[in-house]
Amino acid sequence: MSLNLKNQNAIIRPRVTEKGSLVNSANVYTFEVTTEATKKDIAREVNQVYKVKPIKVNITKNPGKQVMHKGMVGRTRGVKKAYVYLKEGDKIEF
């Protein structure tokens, strides 16, 4: 079931990491997105915000992990990431 996110933001923030910097040279950009966001929602928002049209969008979900700190057991939050592919010559500035 796809939710209509026209009034909400699908993209939370750009995800700037070492791995993300390596794939930027191949015109692939990484974003942290909401859990309800679909590929079409993400592509639409990238087009509106950054004025570039993505070729394709891939999504991955990284689950939270169980951690232990000072004898307390907790859980880190999971994250949903989107890899946005752009055509040659297009770029996004953060």
pLDDT digits (tens, 9 = 90+) for 4-41: 545 568 989 898 888 877 777 788 999 999 999 999 99
Domains of the chain: 11-86 (3.30.70.330)
Distance, CA of 71 to chain centre: 33
Residue type, 13: R
Distance CA 78, CA 31 (A): 14
3 pLDDT higher than 70: no
Q: Measured in Å, how far apart are the chain's first and last C-alpha atoms?
A: 32
Which residues, including other chains, have CB under 8 Å from residue 7's CB and lie 6 or more apart?
none
Distance CA 46, CA 40 (A): 10
- Identify the CA nearest to 79 among candidates 93, 57, 67, 64: 64
- Please state the pTM of the whole predicted model: 0.80
